[in-house]
Chains A and B, each alone.
Chain A
């Protein structure tokens, strides 16, 4: 068994274990962290397939950004575990059926390896850049599907913002442009107060100060 095979089985075992713990962990925060582990180890498997761009993007986008926001939300939620567990046995048959369906489909699609039998992937030279090739393909052969996907994402983003954005009228927000355009003259006023002699009466001091103001 080569070193790469050992690595593959290691990553695969960690991925499967982490994925199992995602659905069995009691604490939802632990579930999210196990999901992170599953992502990282599947990125490791992709690296073994020389798909370094996809692997690093998986870590960057899912682990570095999406899961951080997941953690953020899960930490803020007040989750009642009892309530979550209540319908478990009732919904188990439906879930099991769906899971079985997915397994059958996956076996159907992936199990048929007659056309890849006996073929091994060709190793690329060290200077082969997966990223460059991917970029070239996306922007030449697949430019329309790629643009379409981009537009789809843009629409989704606009929709999400439109759904959640509301302007509240009862809050006083600071107008930053007003704040930064304030000059010294607007806030500070220098006044010269004449030195006050000790023997002056209190009355005169008051009038002096008024004049100065």
Chain B
């Protein structure tokens, strides 16, 4: 595999010279983005299947065997539908909003390590970059809500803005705990920092268990997923910020939401569940490639996303704010101090 890559590199350098570097980067970007798009498509099928099974019904099963072509059919439907721009809307911003929602959701993937050394940009400030990118996603939602010139969309946008700004703080503090434990902001080093213990006992989910929970729940809130999907509360404000979007505009918001879900799943796996590391460092398990472990951990976290949606009723808005400000932020602040103090004692085993 490595030899093949090297011959490919050499061939490319011979062929294109200095232009090979950007071309190779674009190829790598494609290798990340295209599977994400495919995963998003099939995550929607998985979501409907899982919800179906949890509600004792088969889920989509008409298009293709076991409904496997359903995402393709949905894609064709959304592509061929008319993109309606409402009267009195701000046309430029109305079209730009879905793009603004999708771009940070995909840009954040640049620093995620899929396997040892398998990352697009191995930067030292990876975690900072990631927080910055995820905090930009809210613009798409606010601008969509405002540009639509619709009351429901505007209400959804305001709810979403307040929600994301609130939960970002708890998320940031949870990341500070990981940063303390790993003593690095490079995601590759964070995973390598979890390899010292005995398999899964060395991962950060044990010393940072409250942060693991807070981070994942804040991630659910950041991605506007049930039970925190107040921004698109269909029983109260139609479809929230994307009420006025049809066709591809709606599809791009959908893509952004699911890409963000997969991103949160990937980050939770990298920071708390040992990324590409096998759960036990014994013979058959550590022969499996790290990429498979990473994908497996991400799949488990994604299943939990869907499980939440099937299980919990939607939060009321004041409950959501209370959870963010009065539970998560104090808890994370305390845990930062606990971890910092713990690391000074000999009882820090990670």
Contact = CB atoms under 8 A, between A and B. Distances in A.
B158 interface: yes
A63 interface: yes
A130 B186 CA distance: 13
A128 to B, nearest CB: 8
Interface stretch (B40-48, B132-140, B274-282, B339-347): B132-140
Nearest to A179: B319
B161 interface: yes
Interface string B303-323: 000000000000000110010
Contacts of B125: 52-53, 56, 129-131
Contact of A75 (B124, B154, B162): B154
Interface stretch (A64-72, A93-101, A139-147, A203-211): A64-72
Interface string A70-83: 01100110000000
A176 interface: yes
Contacts of A69: 165
A164 B162 CA distance: 18
Contacts of B168: 64-65
A68 B142 contact: yes
Nearest to B164: A68
A46 to B, nearest CB: 12
A57 interface: yes
Contact of B128 (A53, A63, A174): A53
Nearest to A66: B165
B146 interface: yes
Nearest to A75: B146
Contacts of A71: 139, 142, 146, 161
A131 B165 contact: no
A36 interface: yes
A103 B165 CA distance: 36
B20 interface: no
Interface size class of B (residues with CB under 8 A): 20 to 34
A90 to B, nearest CB: 31
Given A71-B142, A72-B158, A75-B154, A63 B124 contact: no
Q: State which size class the interface on A falls in.
A: 20 to 34
Interface in A104-144: 127, 129-131
Nearest to B154: A75
A64 B138 CA distance: 8
A176 B322 contact: yes
B135 to A, nearest CB: 3
Contacts of A131: 124-125, 128, 185
Contacts of A60: 128, 131-132, 135
Contacts of B164: 68
Interface string A5-42: 00000000000000000000000010001001000000
A180 B158 CA distance: 27
Interface of A: 29, 33, 36, 52-53, 56-57, 59-60, 63-65, 68-69, 71-72, 75-76, 127, 129-131, 174, 176
5 contacts: A53-B128, A75-B158, A130-B125, A131-B125, A176-B318
Given A72-B158, A176-B322, 16 more contacts: A33-B143, A52-B123, A52-B124, A52-B125, A56-B125, A60-B128, A60-B132, A63-B132, A65-B168, A68-B164, A75-B146, A127-B124, A129-B185, A130-B124, A174-B318, A176-B319
